[in-house]
């Protein structure tokens, strides 16, 4: 840690990080489920739209949280908001893309 600027390469699990992760998990989860539902695709054991969205989004929170923490470690806490947002978006998209085959295997 640089004691003069307070910049640290280590990410903290604070309210901001947790809020970004939960917001991204539920926001992206809602978007994917709306697109999935509008396209007419259904799973073998069809559950209600809201239950499906809440189940999948809640299960993705740990993976998205790890992605947000990793992105914050890469970019640093003193970077510009645009750089932070872009790095977090790329990390979350990558994490959720990795989770798709796991979701397909489970459900």
Neighbours of 44 (CB within 10 A): 5
CB 60 within 8 A of CB 17: no
pLDDT at residue 10 in the model: 63
For the chain, list residues with pLDDT below 50: 3-6
CB 41 within 8 A of CB 104: no
pLDDT at residue 83 in the model: 92
pLDDT at residue 8 in the model: 57
């Amino acid at each position: 840690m640089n004691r003069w600027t307070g910049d640290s390469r280590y990410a903290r699990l604070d309210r901001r990080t947790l809020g970004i992760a939960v917001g991204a998990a539920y926001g992206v989860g809602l978007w994917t489920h709306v697109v999935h539902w509008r396209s007419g695709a259904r799973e073998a054991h069809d559950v209600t739209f809201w239950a499906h969205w809440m189940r999948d989004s809640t299960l993705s929170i740990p993976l998205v949280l790890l992605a947000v923490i990793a992105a914050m470690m890469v970019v640093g806490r003193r970077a510009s908001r645009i750089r932070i947002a872009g790095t977090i978006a790329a990390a979350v998209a990558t994490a959720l893309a990795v989770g798709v085959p796991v979701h397909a295997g489970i459900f």
